[in-house]
Amino acid sequence: MTTYKGINGFAVQSVATDPTFDEGQVWYNNATYAFKLAALTTSAAWSSGGNMPSGKEGMGGAGTQTAGLGNGGTTGSNSNATLLYNGSTWTVSPGNMNTARAYCATTGTQTAAISANGNSGSYSTNSETWSGTAWTTTASPSLASGIRAASGTSTAALISGGYSPTYQYNTPEVEAWSGSAWTTVTGLTTARTTGQGGVGTQTTAMVMGGFTYPPSGYRAEVELYNGTSWTNLTSMNTGKRYHAASGSPSSALVYFGASAPGVSATSELWNGSTWTASATGATGRESVAGLGNSGTSTAALVFGGSVPPISSLTEEYAGAGTAQTQTVTVT
């Protein structure tokens, strides 16, 4: 009789946690009492992740699909909480933000991030850095605003557009973070009020979508920053606001948010030159949080938001060809 060892030259491993694997590898997880198979996705798909402890909208988000960060947000009142995701479960960190606020611009990783602006009762200039255990108040951006796109790292960030009474809502202003101070740089070509996505670094950033007020439609425009100026790229197929983004200017995913006439669970994939429709999630939501530039276009995360009502749902995206683990039934 043909055996796995006879074919592969070794027996099925018994392990307590799923390993980093190659396609076709089989192992036994002795903690869950299940045989597992390493496979590749044939098409992109969204699947359910672990729910947050409670529903929130307007959170900041950063990190990766298996090491995510969520901060602030609102449940009707503004929150200063910090949430950490390990790929399956959210936990509440004891490190609260110094200022409770929603719709702040967050970028970085689970252990090193910056979160600027937002709404703390009024649109603010608050800015704080995250060390992995605690938030520290920093120098403030010059513009009191909320709902800005964020890209870069905790020491070299970029925040773009947003909602600010200074500009009678539609904000073109862009500010760069040096690690110690914010500096105003070249503004966006198209001023945007709400919910534009942002990916990339401080010197190679992409901003997509958003909204203008008074209402003139959901924006589909996409702009690329080279450290000096902004250039218009191919527009998305569908204008969106209050959405999330993950990846880089050469390979990005824009997902969920609001598109006329209501909330959306759709996503679009950018390959550096064109946008194509990708997988649709289970529950449409706006005011969601995502991963920004620390995530990828093949491993994104969306959490919270408003259906309405306010949601605690998390969904995970796997791009076509992404490695996945499947449980094998043995008879």
Per-residue pLDDT of the chain (331 residues), as tens digits, is 555 455 555 577 787 877 665 666 777 778 767 666 565 566 899 999 999 999 999 999 999 999 999 999 999 999 999 999 999 999 999 999 999 999 999 999 999 999 999 999 999 999 999 999 999 999 999 999 999 999 999 999 999 999 999 998 899 999 999 999 999 999 999 999 886 789 999 999 999 999 998 877 899 999 999 999 999 999 999 999 999 999 999 999 999 999 988 999 999 999 999 999 999 999 999 999 999 999 999 999 999 999 999 999 999 999 987 666 555 555 5
From residue 18, alpha-carbon distances to 35, 300, 324 in Å are 10, 20, 11
DSSP 165: G
Run of H or E residues at 8: helix 4-8
Instruction: Tell me how crowded residue 18 is: count the other CB atoms within 10 A of its CB.
Output: 14
Q: Is the pTM of this model over 0.75?
A: yes
* Distance separating alpha carbons of residues 277 and 304, to the nearest angstrom: 22
Residue 324: is it exposed, middle or buried by C-beta count within 10 angstroms (0-12/13-18/19+)?
middle
CA 78: distance to chain centroid? 20
- Give the bridge partners for 106, in sequence order: 115
